[in-house]
Amino acid sequence: MIKIRDSWGSRLGIIMAVAGSAVGLGNFLRFPAKVAANGGGAFIIPYLIALFLVGIPLMWIEWALGRFGGGFGHGTAPGIFHSIWQKNRFIRYFGVIGIFGPLVIFIYYTFIESWTLGYSVFALMGKYTHITNQSGMQNFLHGYQGIQHNEFFNGLGWAYFFFMITFGLNILIIYHGIKGGIERLCKWALPLLFICGILLMVRVLTLGTPNPSKPDWNISNGMGYLWNPDFSALLSAKVWLEAAGQIFFTLSVGIGVILTYASYLKKGDDVVLSGLTAASTNELAEVILGGTIIIPAAFVFFGPVDIASIAKSGTFNLGFVTMPLILNNLPWNELFAFLWFMLLFLAGITSSVSLAQPAVSFLEDEFNISRKKAVAIFAAITFVLCQPGIFFLKNGVVDELDFWGGTMFLVIFGLIETILFAWVFGMNNAWEEIHHGADMRIPKVYKFIIKYITPSFLIIIIGMWLWQEWIPVILMKNISEGDKPYVLATRLGLMGLFALLGFLVKIAWRRKRAQGGTS
C-alpha cells in the first residue's frame, strides 16, 4: 500500500517555508560579523558573486531536483539521487549527506535556539537589563550555558528548561505536518519576524549621538564602518571563502532541506520564480535588517576602537553580550531586548523545523510508516543526540558539530548535487525540468553557469580547504589537550551516525526490491 504524501496548502506557503528555513540566526548575527571582519562593504562584492554564481544556481537545482524526486515518492536525497541515476546503485549513499547534515545541525541548533527564548523571557523579567558592562553580561551568558557557576545561575536548570520547551515546540510543529505544521508556523512567524526587525532597525537608525562627548560616535559613522569598502581585502582568498560560506549558510543550500520541501510540490508547480522569491526574502532580511541593526548600534555605544574586537568576538558574543548591553542603554530596554530575542527565536524555529523534515520524510517515504510514528522515532533519537552539545558545550562539541554538519558537508553536498543534475541528468534535461510550469525564464547564461562555473567554484573551495586546513583539522592542532577526548568522541559519534543512516538506506532499498519496487 502506497501512502499519499503530504502537500503544501498554497504557493505562498512553500515560499514562506523555504524563506523561513533560510532566514535564521546567521542573518542577524553571522552576516554583520562577517562583513565587519572582512573588508566592510568590499565583502559584498564576493558575497554577491557567490550569490549569483553558486547560491541562486544551487537554489534552482535543489528546487528542481526535489520536485522531480517527489514525483517518484521520494522526499530526501538518497531517493531523489536514485531517481536521477537509477543505473548507479551507489549514488543513493551519497544522498545520505542530505539527511546527515540537517540532522547534525538540528541537534545543536535547537539548544542555541532555546537560549533566545530564555533571553526573551528574561528581558521581560528584567533579569539582565540592569547589567551595564561586558564582563557582567559575559558572566550571565556563561552562567546560563552552564560553563560557570556565578551569582546569576547555579547550573543548567534554566537553560535545560527552555531547551525542553523549544524542543517540544519543534516536535509539535513537525508532528502536524507540512501544511498543518510548518506552513502554518511560517505564515505567521515570518511576518512577525520582519515586524520585530523593522522596529529594531528604526530604533537603531534614530539613535543619533547618545554620547555628546563623542560626536563622531553616531549612526552615520556606524553605518560607514560596516559598509565602507576596504578593497585590499579582496586580495585575500579567505574573504572569498568566507563570502561563499555565508551564501551556503544563509540560503540553506547544500543542506538537503530545500530538496525535501520541494518534493511536496506538484509537477506543474513553478520553481523558478518561487525559488527566487524565497531567496530574495532571505536577502532582504540579511542585508537590510541584519546589516543595519547590531554593528552600527555597537559603533554608536562602543566607538571605532572597540568595535573591531566586538565585530570579531563571535556570533554568541554579538547576540547575547553586545546587543543586550546596547539595548540596556535605551529607554524601554526590556521591550527592545524582548523584540531582539523574539526576532532571533522566530528566525531560529522556522529554520530548525526545516532541519527536522528530511529525516522525518526519509522514514515516511522509504519505510512507508505514518508521520506520527516517524516523528516519534525522530524525537526520541534527536533528544538523546542533543545531550552532548548541552552538557559539553564548553569542551568544543558544538563547534565540532557545526564544522562537519554545518560547513564542510554543505559544500560537498552542493558539488554532488550540481554534478548529478547538470552532468548525469544532462544540462538540456535539467533546463527543461527547471522550466516545467515556470512563470519566468532563467537567462540562458545560467546554462553555462550551472554546468561549468558553479561546480568549478565549489571544487576550488574544497581544494583550497584541503590545501590549507586539512592536516591541522584532522590532527586537532587547534584543540586544547583537555578538549581533545570530547572532540574525538564527537567525531566517532558522527561517523557512527553516518554509517547508521547508510545502513538504513541499504535496508530501505532491500525492502523495495523485495516488494518489487524500482523507483
Q: Is 358 within a domain?
A: yes
Q: Is 54 within a domain?
A: yes
Cell output for 144: 546560563
Model confidence at 227, pLDDT cuts 50, 70, 90, reads confident
Residue 171 amino acid letter: I
Residue with cell string 534527536: 382
The distance between the two most distant Cα atoms of the chain, rounded to a whole number of Å, is 79
> Distance (Å, rounded) from C-alpha 267 to C-alpha 394?
47
> Distance (Å, rounded) from C-alpha 375 to C-alpha 368?
13
Q: Is 62 within a domain?
A: yes
Give which of 75, 54, 52, 69 is closest to 6, Cα–Cα.
75
The count of domains in the chain is 1
Containing structural domain, residue 69: 11-514
Residue 366 belongs to domain with CATH number: 1.20.1740
pLDDT in tens, 362-405: 999 999 999 999 999 999 999 999 999 999 999 999 989 988 88
Q: What value does the mean pLDDT of the chain take? A: 90
Q: Is 492 within a domain?
A: yes
Count CB atoms within 10 A of the CB of residue 232.
Answer: 10
20, 354 Cβ separation under 8 angstroms: yes
CA angle 332, 333, 336 (to 5 degrees): 90
pLDDT in tens, 56-67: 999 999 999 999
Q: Is 444 within a domain?
A: yes
pLDDT in tens, 448-482: 999 999 999 889 888 877 777 778 888 888 889 99
pLDDT of residue 236: 79
> Distance (Å, rounded) from C-alpha 458 to C-alpha 54?
8
pTM of the model: 0.93
Q: Is 4 within a domain?
A: no
Q: Is 103 within a domain?
A: yes
Q: Is 6 within a domain?
A: no
Residue 501 amino acid letter: L
pLDDT of residue 517: 57
